[in-house]
Amino acid sequence: MSFGQARVSPVRRVVVDTDTGIDDAHTLLYLAGRPDAEIVAITSVYGNCVVDDAVRNIGYVTRLLGLDVPIALGAAGPLEGSPNIASYVHGKDGLGDRGYLRPVPDLAAESSAELLVTLADEAPGELDLLALGPLTNLGLALRIDPDLLLKYRSVVLMGGSGPYAEPGVLRMIDANIDNDPAAARLVFAAPRNELVSVGVNVTAGTILDEQAIGALRAAGTPVARFAVEILDSYLDFYQNEWGRRIIPLHDPLAAGVLLDPGYATGWIDGPVNVVGDGFTSRARLMRTSDGLPPAFPYERTPDTRVLTSVDAPRFVQDFVKTLS
């Protein structure tokens, strides 16, 4: 990727690993609408909903888009412990409980982890991997092939919390990492070509506000209509945070950065560790808010490119235009 400036290059061939909730569905719509992206395959994982619903939701969205790609069934829970399913955010079915008919799509014979390995072996250096959920499938795939990430042109994660925040500042929960810290440790320690963390430190401020939601509603196309229909439970959740019916574009921003690194206006390359405080786990760049190493020993992992700022208004404009 060429960070810091808009990219003009061939179409990105993207493998999407997703726990298909509301913003994941929005991300698939966005990727399908971008002329510089081709969705090659979609692998499912638990997280925003149980994995069986994630697969059904992938099928529903791909049918809406007329998209025929391999779909794989992935992990139902983390490498260690039990899953934390975010039905209180995305609805029990992951798409806001709108009552959509969601038959199970035709599934690949391989699991999500196995398909991630197969695709990388078949086209080394040609594919980009976009991980939108807990990193369990990637952790399982790395157990099969420890050099997996070297075979993808780039890997972009919606996950991480950036560097340590300024004293007194709290971050939104780093849910994808918290759901499987063991798998996340495997990913951040693995050799790679390029690993990019688009974390809650930048996604939380990339807001689809009332005006943008109104523009989607006014578009009236099948894609835009679906994108607005599934928003209610998401808006219900975030109104308790901000007192307004607005949402952060967590997963879509990660896709936007993959396709156009110019959306990133600040980043730091450095080691990321997965650390816990007894309540939640986060993937943190091992730097304080003033750029210094933390005041405790940490693991020297390969450098991850950690975003620290983004051009949120430009991305939101592109997102609305693409879905409209």
Distance between CA 18 and CA 5 in Å, rounded?
28
Instruction: Write the CA distances from 144 to 28, 148, 163, 177, integer angstroms.
Output: 27, 8, 31, 21
Dist CA 55 CA 228 (whole Å): 21
**What single string gives the DSSP state of each residue in 242-310?**
HSSS-EE-HHHHHHHHHH-GGGEEEEEEE-EEEEE-SS-EEEEES--TTSPPPSS----PPPEEEEEEE
Going by the DSSP 8-state scheme, the letter that residue 11 receives in this structure is: P
CB 10 within 8 A of CB 123: no
- Residues serving a catalytic function are 250
CA 2 to chain centre: 20
Please state the three-class secondary structure of 168-209 as a single string. CCCCCCCHHHHHCHHHHHHHHHCCCCCEEEECHHHHCCCEEC
In the three-class reduction of DSSP (H, G, I as helix; E, B as strand; rest coil), residue 79 is classed as coil
In whole angstroms, what is the distance from residue 57 CA to residue 19 CA? 9
